[in-house]
Structure 1
Amino acid sequence: MATSQARDETPAPVDLQGGQVRLRTLILLRWAAVAGQVAALTVASGPLSLAVPLGPCFLVVGIAVAANMAAISVFPETKRLSEGQTMASLLFDTAQLALLLGLTGGLANPFAFLILAPATIGATVLSPRSSGAVALVTIAFVTLVAFYYLPLRTAGGTVLSPPAIFGVGHWLAIVIGVSFLTIYAGRVSSEIRSMGRALLATQMALAREQKLTDLGGVVAAAAHELGTPLATIKLVSAELADELDGRPEQRDDALLIRREADRCAEILRSMGRAGKDDLHLRAAPLSAVLREAAEPHLDRGRDVRFEWLPAPDGPAREPTIARRPEIIHGLRNLIQNAVDFAQATVWVEARWSANRLALRIMDDGPGFPAHLLGRIGDPFLRRRPTEPSQDRPEYDGMGLGLFIAKTLLERTGAEITFANGSDPFLAESERPERGGAIVEVIWPLARIAQSASGPLGENVRH
């Protein structure tokens, strides 16, 4: 059931341009760079007997180590960086490498070409403007290092300096390499992203067509089943109209019944020919949406309790929110996960203020494994084999469902956090009632709220 208006309300496909780089990926790349830098400094000062200023060099390497440790301690491993954050991280790596090159011979250092790496990564994951900015900064650092650097010396004090023409050649090669890789990698990644959007649009169109096909089958079956009672109603109402010729008021009622039966038949035929968008189904009260999301899991042996209250400064009336498939499916996955691991009770708690809506889904189960808490939301994250599910032995992982829920809800503007309600090492008697897993979903109310007033308008054919 879709119309032009419904399509306008459908969120745009996931932005494949930026904000898709995991912080963990950049951290691992930086660890690899640190390991390579330490190895190069060790070999240069050892077997090659070069007079490298080890103190300043290891200080620069230590800055990269400190940046990684700070990122690990502040952010979860599953954090996906925005375009600005990704750009800042790549510029940091470029500056750190340029400073290290300046201490170890400048462009005469055979590892100088590695300064191309951050610019190349930027070209594949950033927008053209941001990747161009990274490339320009890289060229600026390369130019600076070409003039200001500590030359390489042997242990005996001999300066290892290539002829000036080679220095110019190295600078020109790196500048051309940065420019070429930025343009080439950016072009290729842009085409890949465009193909990804096209495939996503194709999948959405196929899914929509499948839904319409299924709906057509249901309507056809309903029309078939309702055909006989509608025909009976029409026949009886016509006979009543004939028998009530001398009683005009009753005869008009009988004719009205016949006309309404004809109208019902026409509606069924119309729904079979083309889908309709029922404006009543686009939005619903918050409590109705939550109950709809939880409905498949209400009879699975767990007590699912709902609580919705306004915040102290919020309106008393519960908000009417968009009844979007992403919201219902995402919340359903989160509730399913809570029911899967709860011992007896699951709580679905909603609080709203004038500008914010917060949902909490809690259970009294064992909670998320502490060693995996920072990675909740990664696809295919599996639980430990020593912790089998009590009621679903075949359910061996919680990663894909939570990843789908997290992705769908974030597309609607939500922020999602995962936590435990208590210390997992507490004794059973010391645990609070809601001491299991906690999933908090927070929306800016303006992103999902719908007006509850005003005319709904007519159903529109697509």
Structure 2
Amino acid sequence: MQQLIQLRWLAVGGQVATIITALMVFHIALPLPAMSLVLVFLVVLNVLSIARLKLPSAVRNSELLLSLLLDVVALTAQLYLSGGATNPFIYLYLLQVTLGAVLVEAWSTWAVVAVSGAGFALLTILYEPLGLPPGARLDLFQLHIFGMLTCFLLDAALVVIFMNRITLNLRERDARLADLRQQAAEEGHIVRMGLLASGAAHELGTPLATLSVILNDWGREPALRANAEWLQELQDMEEEVKRCKAIVTGVLVSAGQARGERADVTTVKAFLDDVVDDWRAKKMASNINYQREFTDDVLIVADSALKQVIFNVLDNAAEASRDQVTLRASRVEDALTITVSDHGPGFSAEVLEQLGRPYQSTKGRLGGGLGLFLVVNVLRKLGGHVDARNTGSGAVVTMSLPLAALSPSALSQTTLDGNATVNHGSMSRGP
């Protein structure tokens, strides 16, 4: 529709220029009132088309066909008023047919061909002859050849310009469809991973419970209780088993919990503080430099998926760098930006090139390389994006997502769509 609007403006300008040239240069009398009405009709049609584009619904094939047919009718009217089929600009019908072949469905293209052909045939017998000036010695054949040359150049230029634009539109559409297919494949991969993770969590429950019972029995053995070193190691093992059971429970709860169920409403500052504190406690790490530059605090939902995403990035940075890891949170317009940097060897060229694809890892572990894959897909689901780069002294991962995606109102809408209920819980406030 945008291409048709632009072409129609060109048609209005070209017709005005042609009318002025015929009057001022060749002194040909033309029915100006009637031809002006056709120009006004094209302008009104363009205004209505622009207003139509502002509507949220997509432009349908029937609307494109109607626009093309109205353009054909307007061209027929102008040709009727200026010599009919003897007018060399009669071949502008071909431009309408060409646009129809690209923009509308096959049956609609044939409708444009039929109407254009009928208009051409009608103009061979029904038209207003050109009003040549009295006593003029115009070489009509030379004038007709000049008009045909002008029409050919105009047709050729417009076809090249608009066909290139339409082809570019089609390429962009194909690229978007390819991206959607890739996203669908990746989301299917995530679903399979989630099913396997849930199954593994269920399976691990039994052996962990068995280990817990065995360790508890060992703790009552006099020989072990008499050895302080062994007793301490036994207590450490019990703590690790409890931690494993907590992780398994968390996986099962997250797998069966839709976004919005038992979610807490908090603030950006409180959420980030909790994430960093939890990561420090679980990893027993103190080498994180936490820089919170988020000035105006806002209410958000404590999304567990986003928390795990930040954990994944921090884990990768801590594994790659024994030195300090830096997490910087800031606000860029209406987006939350979280940057994690380290002083490790950086990403390989293959990982940067295939960022967000599964199993892209330099650690050499079977099934590795899923961390960034999950990070990219979760951020994309929330309407954000992930960038990764090397700095020469390490690597930097930047996560950006709109705050609107984390707002309680967005959560309520998501919950209503999924027939879930929201429990806002106790609202924690930032410092």
Q: TM-score range by the shorter chain?
A: 0.3 to 0.5
- Structure 1 length as normaliser, TM-score? 0.39
Larger relative contact order (C-alpha < 8 A, sep ≥ 6)?
Answer: 1
Q: Structure 1 or 2: larger helix share?
A: 2
- Structure 2 length as normaliser, TM-score? 0.42
Larger Rg: 2
